[in-house]
Structure 1
Amino acid sequence: MKFDLHTHHSRCGHARGQIRDYVEAALRGGLQVIGISDHSPYFGEKSDHAQPRIAMAKSEFPRYVEEVLALKEEYRGRIEVLLGVESDFFPEHVGAYRAIYDKYPFDYIIGSVHQSGGVSIFNKRRFRGLSEQEKIREKEQYYDLILQSAKSGMFQILGHIDAMKGFYPAFSDIRTEAVEKTLRIIGEAGMAIEVNTSGKTKDVGGWYPSDEILEMALRYGVSVTFGSDAHDPERVGDDRELVARRLKEIGYKEWVYFSAKKRIAVPL
């Protein structure tokens, strides 16, 4: 069973192609399951389209769901199209996000931290000039948000859990017990983390998360899933076979995907 649970399209303002393009790319790539998971609107903002280059408008959200559900029916019997969303996590707005998500029949929701301390995790300047202790505090603040997202009960999957290394590869070398603590909580919550291959498009040049984190996650019984985080149809399923091989080398026996929020295990 070949699947990819993390894809985007033009609504978010920084991806190429329409949803149908990603479904067709998945078919060409021999996938049996394709998850559509564009960036959620900023539901903590009053304006309809607070971040036009980052996330879709609130007014587009119902149309997004409607389109995915229509494609799910159209492609039934050829490929399973899953309704997902990649949700930002803001502790102060959990109630607002939860109330909106509860209205729709999502197969899964990916919880991703994209801002920490009010700054994008991909901001190349955020570590500039910081002392080692300040860098540790930055990393611990980031992982505290991931930990809170795991405890929130809103998500089935946590997205790219070390993506702060994207434009700062030395992030992985900042030592703190916060990473292990967070993985323990994720395991206790029964959630999955994704192996996200979009890191290869960033300065770090590799997948999220690191092998070290995957090995630690295995010790804490954390399930894994796969997501290309494709922002271009050509990247659907990117490096899926390589990821499967590496997971087996680490010691994983299976990975999972979600349909109607039910976990489905697939042998590696």
Structure 2
Amino acid sequence: MRDFHVHSNYSDGEFLRSMVRAAESAGLEGVGVADHCNVATREHHASMRSVYGFNLDLTYERRRRGIDRLREEFDLAIYDAVEMDYDLRDEAAIETFLAEAGFDYAIGSVHDIGGRNVQVSSNFSAMSEAERDAVVDDYFDQLVALVESELFEIAAHVDLLERTPPLRGRATDDHYRRVAQAFAESRTIPEINAGRALSDAGIVHPSDRLLSLLREYDVAVTVGTDSHQPTEIPNRVDFLAEFVAETGLEPVSPDGLER
């Protein structure tokens, strides 16, 4: 069992050593530290970089030295990864950064539509039904563009909208089929993400509807706990192990890593 999606203090998680120690204690064979990064220069994203520290483009070399030290100390594979915020307008900047940084793998994710974080309900509560549907359309346009860009080994929480009550349940089978088709034609693979699986919401990404279509299109999947705290890792690892056993899934490693 390997967890390809945890965060550390190099973005919005806990100390790097604490996260790796928790991964080892949970019995993992490997853990991927994939801190957030945003390379957009627009005002909203510049604010996110400043407030939340989503600036791994400035700190990845220092984090890499820390990972190298931990590799000597801990008996598990530790992957040097990144979770990039994706926007079609930023493709050139993302491609340049990833080529320069040389991570073990890169995760792509869509968090914002029109400058609004899709996980914040208040951003959409005053919208009309038609406006909310337009946000959902835009989200899946961006997600498909992410997959088609071939910039990333993994796509994170590919139906993130389900976390947000004003947007939940608005995705259609046409949206999901379009995403599944894009994955079937790409090297990018979606993850089974447990970031909200043990919360009150009980949400697993992807949803049953989308997961069914991914299986119909014979799309491989990987796994990630999306943990930000050491205490989150053990329970989420156990959940994922049970989930893949019950569903009969056989998760794979990202391209270029040992299977």
TM-score, normalised by the number of residues in structure 2? 0.88
Question: Contact 2:125–2:166 (CA<8 Å) still a contact in 1?
Answer: no
Which one of the candidate residues 169, 172, 188 is aligned to 1:172?
A: 169
Counterpart in 2 of 1:262?
Answer: 256
Match runs of 1:26-37 below 5 Å: 26-37=23-34
Q: CA deviation at 1:147?
A: 0.5
4+ residue runs over 6 A deviation: 46-49
Residue deviations 1:92-128 (CA, integer Å, cap 9, x gap): 1111121121123322111011111221111212332
Which one of the candidate residues 226, 231, 236 is aligned to 2:233?
A: 236
Question: Contact 1:113–1:146 (CA<8 Å) still a contact in 2?
Answer: yes
Identical-residue share of aligned pairs (%): 25
Counterpart in 1 of 2:91?
Answer: 94
Q: CA deviation at 1:67?
A: 2.0
Question: Contact 1:139–1:174 (CA<8 Å) still a contact in 2?
Answer: yes
Question: Contact 1:186–1:222 (CA<8 Å) still a contact in 2?
Answer: yes
Q: Secondary structure at the match of 1:198?
A: strand
- Report the count of equivalent residues: 256
Q: CA deviation at 1:257?
A: 1.6
Q: CA deviation at 1:134?
A: 2.8
Counterpart in 2 of 1:45?
Answer: 41
Cα RMSD after superposing both structures: 2.4
Counterpart Cα distance in 2 of 1:211 and 1:61:
35
Question: Contact 2:26–2:237 (CA<8 Å) still a contact in 1?
Answer: no
Q: Secondary structure at the match of 1:10?
A: coil
Does residue 80 (structure 1) correspond to residue 77 (structure 2)? The answer is: yes
Question: Contact 2:147–2:186 (CA<8 Å) still a contact in 1?
Answer: yes
Q: 1:134 to 1:160 in 2, by over 3 A?
A: same
Q: Secondary structure at the match of 1:4?
A: strand
Counterpart in 1 of 2:67?
Answer: 68
Counterpart Cα distance in 2 of 1:237 and 1:201:
12
Counterpart in 2 of 1:196?
Answer: 193
Question: Contact 2:196–2:204 (CA<8 Å) still a contact in 1?
Answer: yes
Question: Contact 1:49–1:57 (CA<8 Å) still a contact in 2?
Answer: no
Q: Where do 5+ consecutive residues of structure 2 fail to align?
A: none
Question: Contact 2:31–2:76 (CA<8 Å) still a contact in 1?
Answer: yes
Q: Where do 5+ consecutive residues of structure 1 fail to align?
A: none
Counterpart Cα distance in 2 of 1:56 and 1:100:
12
Residue deviations 1:55-113 (CA, integer Å, cap 9, x gap): 136432321233223323443xx111111111110211111121121123322111011
Match runs of 1:133-172 below 5 Å: 133-168=130-165, 171-172=168-169
Residue deviations 1:28-47 (CA, integer Å, cap 9, x gap): 1111111111111x322287
Q: 1:200 to 1:48 in 2, by over 3 A?
A: closer
Q: 1:92 to 1:170 in 2, by over 3 A?
A: closer
